[in-house]
Structure 1
Amino acid sequence: MNATTRRGVALLASGATILALTACTPATSSSADDSFTLAVPATFTSFDPAYAGDLASRVVHTFLYDKLLGEDPETGEAVSNLATSWTVTPTSAHFEIADGITCSDGSAFTAETVVRNLERMQDPEKPSPLVGSSFGGLGYTASVGENGTSVDIEFGSPVAFAERKIAEAPSMVCDAGLDDPAALETEAFGTGPYTLKKASTGSNYELEIRDEYDWGIDGASLNDEMPATVTVRMLDSPDTIINLVNSGEADAAYLSDGGDASRITGDLSTVTPSAAVSALFFNHRAGTPTADVALRQAISELVDREEFSQVVSQGAGTVADSLTSSGARCSASGEIELPSGGADAATDTLLAAGYTQSDSGAWSKDGAPVAIRLINGGGEVVGAEWIQSLLSDFGFDTVLDTQTGNDAVAALLAGTTWDVALSGYAAATPPLSLVSGAASPEGRNFSAIDNADYNVAVQTALTTGDGADCGLWQESEEIFFEGSELSPLMLTEATIASPTWDLGAGTSTFFLIPTSISAR
């Protein structure tokens, strides 16, 4: 049902009233055959790919911009996009940029444009928050090759799974946007198959197909089956989105919990663009209770992953047992024994480490009660509430911080008001910048994890051969979990579903591949 075709799309987003759930009759298309409406449960922030890493913005960017490399939806391997050929190692990369690429304003996109993008991402006055996960942090160099059509990158430090990371890197902006970055707040300057037609800030984004485009993922070009316009609607909740699709007011739904797709009526075309690990992060900073490995281990033993999955996703999620998903390259899934055993095991761990429990059940150490500040840093609220109840019932004085969105992110990065955080991350490669390296705010390691043995093991894996010895990567992960540095809980897969269009293919880097969307 996922035909691979190509031609054009436009997106529209709006705050919509909640409709009565229609569960009897299949939906019909929300508009004419040449228009496609995608509903997304988030708020758009910017047309600047280097600085807007939120879900809604990235979905819109999918249609407006391109990347150096694409991703094969079947194998996950890198394929061409702006670059036609490439060589990538843990320490360097070389790209040949396709000839004839044009921007939405008709200007040429060149190797020099690529270098300008890369240099801007590590601007010392305003570095991209995504530069660490894509290029191993600041300190790389980028230059145009002698032939004028190629780009060379020398990384400042070895980058694990560099080819995959570059495929996941921010999309490339055209020169007009680089000349006037402030304009990227309201305008798009890209090379993608669609251009921005109309935007209602924060809610409605309408896109229209370009006249020419033949440098898509793996050489894809426009085709007559693609929608001429695409509308992306930003909405408040999955319930609203599902209702709109069932009523025919939207053609497709982006659902962070793939299990919700069963609530959409009709013969569904679906893609699963990404997987994420929900995990408990522990604050390792001095002075926090979770700086103690015994307490981290006890909490990890106490939280039952199967039960968490049932509470949060009604069993639709998969229990996580490593830093990545089972299908990720060099995954240690199934190879590691994580802490478990429930309240009995947690009690034994704490008593052995000198903690005491009062007759009322409250835990303390050296006369000080164990007080846990729990924050929901992007996870499901119901999951955070369940964990708070579990920790409280066990005897920890647990308070839940209910901040959301940017406020919660700011609190996580500051690291001063929380001890345990329920949060998540992409599961395709080990989240090295989140579990090692500089602590926030200097780096992305917001838990301030500093496991010296793990750091050495990672460097060994990075610098041995081509950096892809899976045995070494799995050994490094075993070392990591010996310290109960964090506790992976559940693997969830986002799903895009449509009862009226064939969605073609999607990947973790592009969500939907625009040239593969086709009319039924």
Structure 2
Amino acid sequence: MKKAAVLAALALVTAACGGGGTQAPAGGPVAGGTFTYALSADPGVLDPATGVLGATNLVLSVAYDTLVASTEDGAIVPGLAEKWEVKPDSVTFTLRKDVTCSDGSKLTPADVAQNVNHIADPATKSPIYGVLLPVGMKAVADDAAGTVTLSTPKPFSFILQSAESLFIVCGKGVKDRASIARATSGTGPYVLKSAAPGDSYTFEVRKDYAWGPNGATSKGLPDKVVLKVVPNEQTAANLLLAGSINGATFYGADRTRLEAAPGIGKMLPSAGQHQFFYHQGEDRPTKDPAVRKALTQAVNLKELGGIATAGTGRPATGMVAEPRPCKGDSVAGHVPAFDAAASAAGLDAAGWKAGPDGIRVKDGKRLSLRYLYVTTRGAGIQAAAEYLAATWKKLGVEIKLNGVLDTKLAESLNATQDWDVAWLPIGVTLPSQLVGFLSGPAAPKGANFAHLANERYTKLVEEATLKPGEEGCKLWLEAESALFENGDLVPVADTTVLVATKNATFSLILGLFDPTTIRLTQG
């Protein structure tokens, strides 16, 4: 799978990405029982080395632990590692000594190292390499000392944070990756007992689990977790209201009725960012920065954001989902302001003059743009496409709307390159995960699907990567701002989703279950 396909998967199918929020009402705790959650799509192959879909990683989070974990406010806390030492180009983890795999074997530093090196091996062709795992990272284990060291060829500012995205396979799954296509072999509090692709995945609790974040154990957890595939949100809402399931995530129209329903617990986590990209290939009108600026000035982004999110979003503040490792607003003051008159004047100055039918023409070529978006992310995205088309038509631009299914987005975005403007929601957790898509070799040879060549962005990223902490964060935020100032892409809104619950409580962090927080409650 090419990286552009990975980006499309991460962008479009990422589950709720931020921290939690108010989750009420809830009665007293119920011992044992079965917790059931609706998945919007089948997770597919369950090997963590291939996990790019939000549904896949949500399933994996029930059965696999990571070296470190994060709290809802983004703080890093111990996971499988009890402590760590960070250097600019390496991090050494000391593992807990009491951790066992679901098959009873002891977790070793060699197991952890094999996970990293397996993903980094070119023969594996792991789609998360270079996205969730930094390029060039390798791992060395010291079983006698109980440590494993992850290193990169040069300093990497998020070398510690990258470990919170790596599910650790252990036991038999380390030696036989094929065995975990429809099974699990991890250290998490649950183990997969049955898989019915397209229908449901049933997990049983591990009674011996005692090494969760902040000392969490399996005490009080439901005996079973069932992750049920329910692609239709209306069906999921009906099941939730009837008490047939305990939770689900909602993006579309059913969100409104559930928010008003009695007896439903509600969380409104961040779900990534909405933005649109301009294609800057040699033969594209949007290669000209004056055209990009004019098109952006023609749009009332506040109105557009309200339409795209059905009024549930927030003004865009960056490209990384909450909780962000780099706090701050990279958007404000860096995007051309709404000014219809300046927009028209800008296109005139760039040589695009209105033709007999009102469509602008330059050198005999009509200003015609093909707008790419997905049709399966709610009515708001369709409405946003129609809003942009109407806005740019008034400006004298011919717009051809091209709505595609999620599964076709990567092909259209990267392989066929049949677009000029693309609406692409993004749900990544580190700014470094976007670098390969926003710079470097252009598609189809590379992952840079929009053919961006922003020298200031590239320079700032190179500097930011080498610097830790706040010093590096300042540069990462400036790098994002450089993209907006150049009109490479236009941030529209930070989105939220509704995570609705009934007779249960739990936490989602970075779009994944903290499975040690799942509790059934009295109705």
Report the Cα offset of residue 122 of structure 1. Answer: 1.6
1:449 corresponds, among 448, 452, 469, to 452
* Residue-by-residue CA offset, 1:197-248 (whole Å, 9 max, x unaligned): 2211122111111121112223311112x21111111222322211211122
Corresponding position of 1:361? 358
2:243 corresponds, among 236, 241, 248, to 248
1:493 corresponds, among 464, 485, 496, to 496
Kept in 1: contact 2:290–2:346 (CA 8 A)? yes
**Take 1:382 and 1:203, find their aligned partners in 2: how far apart are those partners?**
31
Report the Cα offset of residue 437 of structure 1. Answer: 3.4
Judged with a 3 Å threshold, the aligned counterparts in structure 2 of structure 1 residues 269 and 407 are, in CA distance, closer, same or farther, namely same
Judged with a 3 Å threshold, the aligned counterparts in structure 2 of structure 1 residues 50 and 385 are, in CA distance, closer, same or farther, namely farther
**Take 1:178 and 1:506, find their aligned partners in 2: how far apart are those partners?**
27
Deviates more, 1:405-414 or 1:62-71: 405-414
AA matched with 2:500: A
Judged with a 3 Å threshold, the aligned counterparts in structure 2 of structure 1 residues 481 and 309 are, in CA distance, closer, same or farther, namely closer
AA matched with 1:113: D
Corresponding position of 2:485? 482
1:432 corresponds, among 421, 431, 435, to 435
Report the Cα offset of residue 470 of structure 1. Answer: 3.8
Judged with a 3 Å threshold, the aligned counterparts in structure 2 of structure 1 residues 184 and 299 are, in CA distance, closer, same or farther, namely farther
AA matched with 2:246: D
Report the Cα offset of residue 174 of structure 1. Answer: 2.1
* Residue-by-residue CA offset, 1:485-511 (whole Å, 9 max, x unaligned): 1111111123422131122x32105x2
1:177 corresponds, among 173, 176, 189, to 173
The RMSD of aligned alpha carbons is: 2.8
Corresponding position of 1:11? none
**Take 1:441 and 1:183, find their aligned partners in 2: how far apart are those partners?**
33
2:228 corresponds, among 227, 233, 251, to 233
What secondary structure does 2:273 align onto? strand
Question: Structure 1: which 5+ runs fail to align?
Answer: 1-25
**Take 2:323 and 2:140, find their aligned partners in 1: how far apart are those partners?**
35
* Residue-by-residue CA offset, 1:120-174 (whole Å, 9 max, x unaligned): 112213332222223332x22211137442111221344343332321x231222
**Take 2:481 and 2:428, find their aligned partners in 1: how far apart are those partners?**
17
Deviates more, 1:175-184 or 1:464-473: 464-473
AA matched with 1:132: G
AA matched with 1:315: G
**Take 2:162 and 2:328, find their aligned partners in 1: how far apart are those partners?**
16
Deviates more, 1:213-222 or 1:406-415: 406-415
Judged with a 3 Å threshold, the aligned counterparts in structure 2 of structure 1 residues 156 and 284 are, in CA distance, closer, same or farther, namely farther
Kept in 1: contact 2:258–2:264 (CA 8 A)? no
Kept in 2: contact 1:318–1:492 (CA 8 A)? yes
For these two proteins, the number of residue pairs brought into alignment is 488
**Take 2:270 and 2:57, find their aligned partners in 1: how far apart are those partners?**
13
Corresponding position of 1:508? 510
AA matched with 1:374: Y
Kept in 2: contact 1:436–1:449 (CA 8 A)? yes
Report the Cα offset of residue 100 of structure 1. Answer: 2.6
Q: What is the TM-score when the length of structure 2 is the normalising length?
A: 0.85
2:141 corresponds, among 139, 144, 150, to 144
Percent identity between matched residues is 28
Kept in 1: contact 2:41–2:230 (CA 8 A)? yes
Kept in 2: contact 1:136–1:156 (CA 8 A)? no
Report the Cα offset of residue 443 of structure 1. Answer: 4.7
Report the Cα offset of residue 359 of structure 1. Answer: 4.1
**Take 1:77 and 1:442, find their aligned partners in 2: how far apart are those partners?**
37
What secondary structure does 2:204 align onto? strand
Q: How does 1:270-419 map to 2 (within 5 A)?
A: 270-272=266-268, 274-324=270-320, 328=324, 329-333=326-330, 335-376=332-373, 380-414=381-415, 416-419=417-420
**Take 1:149 and 1:415, find their aligned partners in 2: how far apart are those partners?**
49
Kept in 2: contact 1:434–1:444 (CA 8 A)? yes
* Residue-by-residue CA offset, 1:18-59 (whole Å, 9 max, x unaligned): xxxxxxxx9999x99611111122232121122121121111
**Take 1:89 and 1:275, find their aligned partners in 2: how far apart are those partners?**
32
Report the Cα offset of residue 63 of structure 1. Answer: 0.5
Corresponding position of 1:518? 519
AA matched with 2:120: Q
Q: How does 1:107-146 map to 2 (within 5 A)?
A: 107-137=105-135, 139-145=136-142
Judged with a 3 Å threshold, the aligned counterparts in structure 2 of structure 1 residues 376 and 105 are, in CA distance, closer, same or farther, namely same
Judged with a 3 Å threshold, the aligned counterparts in structure 2 of structure 1 residues 334 and 295 are, in CA distance, closer, same or farther, namely closer
What secondary structure does 2:150 align onto? strand
Judged with a 3 Å threshold, the aligned counterparts in structure 2 of structure 1 residues 443 and 66 are, in CA distance, closer, same or farther, namely farther
Judged with a 3 Å threshold, the aligned counterparts in structure 2 of structure 1 residues 27 and 96 are, in CA distance, closer, same or farther, namely closer
Question: Structure 2: which 5+ runs fail to align?
Answer: 1-24
AA matched with 1:130: I
Report the Cα offset of residue 253 of structure 1. Answer: 1.3
Q: What is the TM-score when the length of structure 1 is the normalising length?
A: 0.86
* Residue-by-residue CA offset, 1:459-493 (whole Å, 9 max, x unaligned): 22332465744433333333332211111111112
Deviates more, 1:433-442 or 1:207-216: 433-442
